[in-house]
């Protein structure tokens, strides 16, 4: 049957199981939006307040579900407004497909109104991108894009479609079964063959890693974001319990291992716990699972895990030996590898090692118990949310001190419930991501923890939250500063607080009210618990302005360039005054 290119887009999205897309219309994408209107009963479009919010929403949707998230924008500034969201997804290996439309073929390359080379712009931040200039290539390209986004190490793919392609007609042949789609794609495309080739480690190499674990006295696991991406949380728990191995988590893995488990040492790295940072320092075998050895974890690479043989297991061979040399490695799907490895791993007690880990777990900065009554303790905020909202609630964050406090203090026990920007550190990510999580399942409960600095960058999405009546509770951790930057200025720049004090509007409660959302103010712990309980149980959009002291610090902290074990646990009176 002959259909237009815009209808091909709709049919291919539905083929791929897409039920929701996030976007913002404009001139060159109008044909696709007309097709969305005609197919509104088949596919749901969410109108965001800004294209960047659409990209982050698609990303949040993908992280919460493991499925490919989809966003759309028109040419020029619409397309470039997606760039930060695409880069965020790229750094955190999140599968999204971004669809943009460009000027028609006859106007391409002539500096036409709202023309931009978006494929050139996004080349370094996508797994692959495409420009579709012929309607005959459209269906094949969309199918390839989804395949690439979700296969191997996931990531974003961009499709730029010229406007006349969306209007042209073409004979369309639907493909209904996933295996048929993938089979045809792989057979006819050498690049897709390469992407589809999943490394399968030999039995000999699997046994070699098992022997290393069995012979180790002080093994230690460094779990990365690949645990959640591969769905290997169950296997991680089984390995840790069987061999009695402590587990540290990167920021991206913070909900991959139960926080209340005795083997969990929580986060590792610059703001990691004493147990995690000393565990990696004193272990004799470091087992890295789906991690990329980020600079925020390893810090001084020459002194990272000096006493250990490093086993690196990851799906992406490019990560092996990139930042930290591996003694041995296994490349492939993490869940499959762990399932093959676990039967060969022996049960061990490792009493002395576990006792040492437990001793380190008791060492924690004292400052969080000594804050003035006029502000709210960040640790209390996390514990209060968890107590009232429960373990199944999704927590999203922006980027900054509030993000680190959440990672340090929130007792995550369920997979995929912590969604944050790790690699790129995108202020403005969390509100859009929270919307994506909520749209992924109407039964989800989402609490978004934001800083007042970050929330300024995306508070326009309150319009989207109100319009769709999303029961997201937004907590603005309000210290009237760009807290993370101010903290560095205090520690390393002689307390020269250049442009980090936010002692000017808005009034967050009045802003919420302007959007038709209920706003709450909390100045102490008792008020916070009361208003959060009320807001969460109301199951409606809400904003809570939670006052936090401007000089609240994130500790422990390892200064940049220092060894991971060189932690600041307590600040001197001179620094604080």
CATH number of the structural domain spanning residue 436: 3.40.50.970
Do 184 and 323 have their domain in common? Answer: no
Do 521 and 372 have their domain in common? Answer: yes
- Asked if residues 162 and 105 have their Cβ atoms less than 8 Å apart, the reply is yes
Domain boundary among 181, 196, 211: 196
**Residue 110, C-beta contacts closer than 8 angstroms, at least 6 positions apart:** none
Query: How far, rounded to the nearest angstrom, does the alpha carbon of residue 133 sit from its chain's CA centroid?
Result: 33
Task: Check residue 571 and give its pLDDT.
Answer: 81
Q: Does residue 126 fall inside a structural domain? A: yes
Do 347 and 419 have their domain in common? Answer: no
Q: What is the number of structural domains in the chain?
A: 3
Q: Does residue 559 fall inside a structural domain? A: no
- What backbone phi and psi angles, to 5 degrees, belong to 465? -60, -40
Question: Residue 148 belongs to what H/E stretch?
Answer: helix 138-150
Do 414 and 547 have their domain in common? Answer: yes
| Distance between CA atoms of residues 227 and 240, nearest Å | 13
Tens-level pLDDT at each residue, the chain (577 residues): 899 999 999 999 999 999 999 999 999 999 999 999 999 999 999 999 999 999 999 999 999 999 999 999 999 999 999 999 999 999 999 999 999 999 999 999 999 999 999 999 999 999 999 999 999 999 999 999 999 999 999 999 999 999 999 999 999 999 866 555 555 555 556 566 666 667 899 999 999 999 999 999 999 999 999 999 999 999 999 999 999 999 999 999 999 999 999 999 999 999 999 999 999 999 999 999 999 999 999 999 999 999 999 999 999 999 999 999 999 999 999 999 999 999 999 999 999 999 999 999 999 886 666 555 667 999 999 999 999 999 999 999 999 999 999 999 999 999 999 999 999 999 999 999 999 999 999 999 999 999 999 999 999 999 999 999 999 999 999 999 999 999 999 999 999 999 999 999 899 999 999 999 999 999 999 999 999 999 999 999 999 999 999 999 999 999 988 999 999 998 876 666 6
pTM exceeds cut of 0.75: yes
| Distance between CA atoms of residues 353 and 519, nearest Å | 49
CATH number of the structural domain spanning residue 306: 3.40.50.1220
Q: Does residue 575 fall inside a structural domain? A: no
CA distances from 104 to 7, 75, 118, 159, 310 (A): 17, 11, 14, 15, 53
Task: Check residue 182 and give its pLDDT.
Answer: 57
**Residue 30, C-beta contacts closer than 8 angstroms, at least 6 positions apart:** none
Do 427 and 322 have their domain in common? Answer: no
- Asked if residues 100 and 79 have their Cβ atoms less than 8 Å apart, the reply is yes
Do 338 and 419 have their domain in common? Answer: no
Task: Check residue 560 and give its pLDDT.
Answer: 87
Q: Does residue 573 fall inside a structural domain? A: no
Q: Does residue 109 fall inside a structural domain? A: yes
Q: Does residue 185 fall inside a structural domain? A: yes
Do 85 and 220 have their domain in common? Answer: no
In DSSP notation, 375-407 reads S--HHHHHHHHHHHH-TTSEEEE-SSHHHHHHH
| Distance between CA atoms of residues 502 and 451, nearest Å | 11
Do 187 and 214 have their domain in common? Answer: no
- Asked if residues 544 and 531 have their Cβ atoms less than 8 Å apart, the reply is yes
Q: Does residue 565 fall inside a structural domain? A: no
Do 393 and 518 have their domain in common? Answer: yes
Do 377 and 421 have their domain in common? Answer: yes
Do 545 and 470 have their domain in common? Answer: yes
- Asked if residues 276 and 407 have their Cβ atoms less than 8 Å apart, the reply is no
Task: Check residue 373 and give its pLDDT.
Answer: 66
In which order are the strands placed within the sheet that holds 20-23? 44-47, 20-23, 69-73, 96-102, 157-162, 128-132
Do 340 and 393 have their domain in common? Answer: no
CA distances from 13 to 8, 17, 25, 350, 477 (A): 8, 7, 17, 52, 38
| Side-chain half-sphere exposure of 20, counting CA atoms within 13 A | 23
In DSSP notation, 531-546 reads HHHHHHHHTS-EEEEE
Domain boundary among 361, 386, 417: 361
Domain boundary among 164, 196, 228: 196
**Residue 378, C-beta contacts closer than 8 angstroms, at least 6 positions apart:** 368, 401, 402, 405, 409, 477, 548, 552
Task: Check residue 499 and give its pLDDT.
Answer: 97
Q: Does residue 560 fall inside a structural domain? A: no
- Its domain, for residue 320, covers 203-361
């Amino acid at each position: 049957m002959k259909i237009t290119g815009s209808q091909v887009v709709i049919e291919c999205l539905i083929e791929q199981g897409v039920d929701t897309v996030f976007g913002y219309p404009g001139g060159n994408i109008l044909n696709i939006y007309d097709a969305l209107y005609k197919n509104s009963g088949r596919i749901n479009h969410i109108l965001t307040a800004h294209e960047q919010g659409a990209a982050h929403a698609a990303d949040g949707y993908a992280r919460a579900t493991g499925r490919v998230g989809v966003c759309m924008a028109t040419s020029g500034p619409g397309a470039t407004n997606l760039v930060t969201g695409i880069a965020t997804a790229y750094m955190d290996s999140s599968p999204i497909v971004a669809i943009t439309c460009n000027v028609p073929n006859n106007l391409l390359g002539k500096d036409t109104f709202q023309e931009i080379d978006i494929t050139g712009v996004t080349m370094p931040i996508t797994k692959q991108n495409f420009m579709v200039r012929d309607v005959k290539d459209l269906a094949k390209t969309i199918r390839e894009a989804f395949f690439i986004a979700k296969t191997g190490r996931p990531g974003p793919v961009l499709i730029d479609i010229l406007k006349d392609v969306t209007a042209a007609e073409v004979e369309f042949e639907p493909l209904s079964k996933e295996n048929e789609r993938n089979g045809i794609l792989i057979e006819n495309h050498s690049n897709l063959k390469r992407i589809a080739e999943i490394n399968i480690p030999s039995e000999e190499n699997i046994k070699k890693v098992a022997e290393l674990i069995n012979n180790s006295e002080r093994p230690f696991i460094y779990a990365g974001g690949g645990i959640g991406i591969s769905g290997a949380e169950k296997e991680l728990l089984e390995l840790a319990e069987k061999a009695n191995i402590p587990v540290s988590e990167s920021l991206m893995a913070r909900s991959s291992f139960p926080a209340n488990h005795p083997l969990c040492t929580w986060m590792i790295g610059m703001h990691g716990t004493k147990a995690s940072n000393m565990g990696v320092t004193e272990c004799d075998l470091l087992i890295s699972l789906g991690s990329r050895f980020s600079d925020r974890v390893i810090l001084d690479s020459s002194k990272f895990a000096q006493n250990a043989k490093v086993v690196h297991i990851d799906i992406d061979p490019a990560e092996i030996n990139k930042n930290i040399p591996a003694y041995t490695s296994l490349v492939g799907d993490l869940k499959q590898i762990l399932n093959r490895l676990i039967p060969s791993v022996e049960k061990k007690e490792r009493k002395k090692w576990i006792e040492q880990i437990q001793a380190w777990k008791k060492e924690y900065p004292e400052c969080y118990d000594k804050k003035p009554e006029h502000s709210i303790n960040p640790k209390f905020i996390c514990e209060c949310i968890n107590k009232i909202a429960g373990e199944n609630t999704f927590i999203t964050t922006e980027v900054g001190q509030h993000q680190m406090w959440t990672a340090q203090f929130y007792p995550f026990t369920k997979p995929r419930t912590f969604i944050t920007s790790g690699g790129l550190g995108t202020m403005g990510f969390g509100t859009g991501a929270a919307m994506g999580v909520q749209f992924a399942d109407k039964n989800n409960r989402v609490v978004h923890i934001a800083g007042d600095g970050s929330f300024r960058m995306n508070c326009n999405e309150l319009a989207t939250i109100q319009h769709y009546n999303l029961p997201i509770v937004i907590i603005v951790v309000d210290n009237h500063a760009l807290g993370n930057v101010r903290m560095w200025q205090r520690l390393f720049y002689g307390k020269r607080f250049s442009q980090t004090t936010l002692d000017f509007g808005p009034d967050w409660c009045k802003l919420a009210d302007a959007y038709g959302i209920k706003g709450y103010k909390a100045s102490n712990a008792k008020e916070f618990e009361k208003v959060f309980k009320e807001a969460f149980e109301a199951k409606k959009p809400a904003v809570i302005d939670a006052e936090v002291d401007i000089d609240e610090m994130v500790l422990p902290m390892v200064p940049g360039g220092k060894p991971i074990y060189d932690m600041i646990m307590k600040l001197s009176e001179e620094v604080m005054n």
